[in-house]
Structure 1
């Protein structure tokens, strides 16, 4: 995916023609459900080069640098991947590769990102992107392409966390040509397990049915792309859902939507009414369909600096990197598509006390275990940003959790501590705005109903008073 306006317009023209045909087919077959899926284990985001993954030189995802050592890349990637996990609930990352990246010296550093993701328990999808010079949907240099994949698979074929996508968006090939290329890629690498290969659909990876039907490609996953800008005239979720199902056919059991995305910086509420927005209709339909079919997906992009579709923005320096969610409702829809909770809710932001209008704050931005949070004027700092994870943790700095020390009763001390999955680190947001602890059932409470900066925060029997009511924003 190139998120530049020029290519988006070109893609929209091409995809509109294909999409119209697929949309008609979808309307004719809307009652037929694709086969039951087993791809829901992929809950992912793309991590992309801010210039675009179509590059003649090395591809360098946002936050990394060609001058970084392996250790520095590993540390940076650990920070970014950890926040994809904590803030978005992801377990998969799709990373770009090209011959310049892999066949040259940068590979020794770049493997740090792959290894860091795998060490975090992530699935890593490596996809080939052609050079910006041609951008014709065909392999630029077959010899360099083969050398690249041989080097990648020699290192990672035996690493179960790593998956291989021979080519991103092979739109320059006919259906038969592309299927031949993919079949030859598999035949040349028999040591690569087929269930760790993603074969893109035809065209802009927009139709997986021909690839699915080719027996030479049996056992592989299928990579599908769909974007809202392909049909700005479609403002009905049904149109988008029918289009997506038509592109999948009966192949849901092998298909992963490994590129889809929408504007995240324009303030759209993806949990609200459509109100004539093709983007809201599209993203709601995509995530509803994914959830219904049990299909995995990889959002474009989880992080790409300068891309208005990016679900996060990057701040910090060196290896101390922080991600902030650009649109909580968009993140909610992503988790919904992955089979998340029945009511999409924001998971990342400040916790503002209703009685004081001040925020839950880690004093001095301390990262030390045992530090007790207090109230402070809201400033949006990393020490005030709490991610409510799928595991019901309230995480700050990604690795620290809000923790009820000691026995968890009214005498317990509230601190930050290394996340460990204990019941004393689990928190439930109630409909009245109170926040209850998983072990004690007591409510997060500003001691003595205080409102000043530095006021202590602890626990008390739930009473619904303003000093126990918290708003996320």
Structure 2
């Protein structure tokens, strides 16, 4: 996620265009993604960087052993403080097609050793919604799938927020990815929704993508509603009939500003109503949620902060509501 002024405006505009009047919530589909109870571990600069992605707590000078040791504390924190079983990690060609990859893998290896699922997602650097360099992107994915394709707990998201592509062009690019990496089971490929991952109805209906998981992003600053019912309708229309394949792999709200997300404090505020509706719908449809971010320094949405070699939570009511959405 990138929350610069320009991208906030673009997302808000897109949300306004997609907004619909309050309607009855459609019948929920049989769902099967609630095994993903996750968090994003993100770079303090955001993951849209022209260079190595370095999640908060790591440094460019870290060895593999150092990354692994630091990650052990952070991953344990995600598990112990939140109950998470999934971590979404950013990658890009600059990181993978360099010596940083051999060291950065310590983060994924730590998560896997702790019994976590790992989602690798590609972030582009140009911030235009397109793959920056198709050749480098292919080389990156060749290496990542070669290293982790044999591990059933690793999932691959070809691109985060492909807002530069039309639906047809995005489906075509994903189809090429699936063909190139046909050894990867489709059930371990996570295809982003169109735009800012904000709608999965198009990719869900594309027969070329049958069998893949889908990812949806959903944020409270995309609209100004202050009721759970309005936010439920907003989210339901972005899902259509594809809840059973969809992981909400980015959703988050302010966790360092003192908001109370507990029952009785939800309607009447934009973010508390949004977060309650998102987690309620995820729970009722048994959908996975990967919170943005589990850890990112300087981000008011970060649900944890570093404390020594581990983590502390930033908002207990937010954690409780997230766990509710996870079905816990």
TM-score by length of 2: 0.97
Extract unaligned runs of 5+ from structure 1.
Answer: 341-473
Q: Residue 68 of structure 2 contacts residue 110 of structure 2 at CA under 8 Å; is this kept in 1?
A: yes
Which stretch shows the higher mean deviation, 54-63 or 67-76? 67-76
Structure showing greater Rg:
1
Alignment match of 2:297 (pick from 294, 302, 305): 305
Q: State the distance in 1 between where 2:320 and 2:267 align.
A: 19
- The answer to whether the 8 A contact 1:3-1:307 is kept is no
Contact 1:34–1:248 (CA under 8 A) maintained in structure 2: no
> 2:303–2:318: 8 Å Cα contact kept in structure 1?
yes
Aligned equivalent of 2:238: 247
The answer for the alignment partner of 2:3 in structure 1 is 3
After superposition, what is the alpha-carbon deviation per residue over 1:138-194, rounded to whole angstroms, capped at 9, x for unaligned?
Answer: 000000000000000011110111100000000000111111111111011111111
Query: Does structure 2 retain, via aligned residues, the 8 Å contact 1:34–1:251?
Result: no
Correspondence for 2:320 among 332, 336, 339? 332
Structure-2 residue corresponding to 1:113: 107
Match status 1:179 vs 2:167 = no
State the distance in 2 between where 1:5 and 1:190 align: 39
Distance 1:31 1:146 in 2: 40
Which residue does 1:219 correspond to in 2?
211
1:279 to 271, 278, 300: 271
- TM-score normalised by structure 1 residue count: 0.68
In structure 2, do the counterparts of structure 1 residues 31 and 100 end up closer, same or farther at CA, with 3 Å as the change threshold?
closer
Instruction: Indicate conservation of the 8 Å contact 1:53/1:59, yes or no.
Output: yes
Alignment of 1:352-363 (within 5 A): none
Q: Tell me which residue corresponds to 2:14.
A: 14
Higher RCO (Cα < 8 Å, 6 or more apart): 2
Are positions 1:71 and 2:65 aligned together? yes
The root-mean-square deviation of aligned C-alpha atoms, in Å, is 1.1
Q: Name the SS of the counterpart of 2:73 in structure 1.
A: helix
Per-residue CA shift, 1:184-227, capped at 9, x if unaligned?
11011111111111000011111101111111111110000110
Deviations 1:41-66 (A, max 9, x none): 00000000001100000000000111
| Alignment gaps of 5+ in structure 2 | none
SS of the residue corresponding to residue 334 of structure 1 reads helix
More strand by share: 1
Deviations 1:339-360 (A, max 9, x none): 11xxxxxxxxxxxxxxxxxxxx
Partners in 2 of 1:315 and 1:238 — Cα distance?
37
Bigger fraction of residues in helix:
2
CA separation of 1:209/1:275 partners in 2, compared to 1, >3 Å: closer, same or farther? closer
Q: Does 1:100 align with 2:94?
A: yes
Helix, strand or coil for the counterpart of 1:54? Answer: coil
| Separation (CA, whole Å) in 1 of partners of 2:62 and 2:172 | 38
Q: Does the 8 A contact of 2:201 with 2:239 survive in 1? A: yes
